[in-house]
Structure formats: C-alpha cells, structure tokens
Amino acid sequence: MTEIQEAEDILASAELIHSAEAVAAAVTRIAGEIAEKLRDSNPVLLCVMSGGVPFAGQLMTQLRFPLDFDYLHVTRYGQDTAGGALSWRSAPWISVKGRTVLVVDDILDEGLTLAAVAERMLKLGATECFTAVAAEKLNGKEKPIRADFVALTVPDRFVFGFGMDVRGTWRNLPAIYALKES
C-alpha cells in the first residue's frame, strides 16, 4: 500500500468531528473575542509551528488591529501519535520583551507544550502572554494551563485536520476528524 493510499484510507474511515463551516464559524467567533481583549495592545502574534499555521493564518485575516507576527517551533509529537519529550526547534525572531504576546496553536491536549511556551515568553520579558487554540481536547486530565481563547472542543480521541496531522499528513484539511475507534 502506498503512503497516498494509506492516507486516503485513514480519511475514509475517520469520523467528522467539526465540519469546515463549523471551524470557520469558530475562528470568526474567537477573532471577535481576541479583538475585544487585545485590540489596544499591539500584540506579537506567535504561531506555533507547524500545527498552528492554518488557525493562525485564518485568524490573522480577521483581526482588524495592528499586530506583529512571528513564529516559534516546539513539539512533543513529531510524526508520532503520542507526546514525547519537548523539542525546541526555533525561538521567535521578534523580541517579546515588554510586549503582549498571543500564542496561537492547533490543540490543547495535555497542555505541557503550551504551558512551556507561555512560561518561556514570560521569561523572555513579555508583559502578558495569552494563548489561543483551535481545539481543546476534552480528556478529563488536569492541565498545567488553560487557553485564554478556545475555538472548538474535541473528544478524547486522536484528531486531525485544520493543522493537526495524522502520521505527518492531513494538516491541510479545513475540517477536524477523529481516527476510527478500534
């Protein structure tokens, strides 16, 4: 079986959790919430690579206030389906010292990555660090951080689409799916 066929089979057997329309509506809703809170702060919006790209891209086009944009790359997953050790690959290029920061990521699962990023931004001198996620997993676990802005919630299953990958693919889907339960 080819990688393409394997990816197609994964999608064909997956369960749709949030349609593309529901995702788009949630991004619009959360953009309004963020604007209400941050419009006067000239924040630095930091996209967490690679999963945060679709969310950050769509979100930014709806934020009608001045902001600076940069990215950082930190991961616990790589191409695995379970989290491992935290790996910092790239820090932001823009200084966050004395700035309000908005960290944008794909999913709040166990919260370890997002908590580490927020802590790092404050250590780098950010005056405030807000977090926004496309999805929060309802896994019943105690998390070290709560996202300030949550677009959607997802069940305690392996989800993919809208920035989240499954075996390195399907980040590009506009909807959110869950792997078929075995």
Q: What is the pLDDT of residues 1-44, one digit of tens each?
A: 799 999 999 999 999 999 999 999 999 999 999 999 999 999 99
Alpha-carbon span 142 to 157, nearest angstrom: 17
> What three-state secondary structure class fits 123?
helix
Give residue 77's pLDDT: 55
Taken in order of first residue, the domains within the chain and their CATH numbers are 3-76+86-178 (3.40.50.2020)
Task: Output the pTM of the full model.
Answer: 0.92
**Confidence band for 82, pLDDT divided at 50, 70 and 90:** low
**Confidence band for 163, pLDDT divided at 50, 70 and 90:** very high
CB contact at 8 A, 73 and 105: no
Helix axes 20-38, 53-60, angle to 10 degrees: 60
Give residue 85's pLDDT: 73
Helices (H), the chain: 3-13, 20-38, 53-60, 112-123
Q: Across all residues in the chain, what is the average pLDDT?
A: 93
Give residue 123's pLDDT: 95
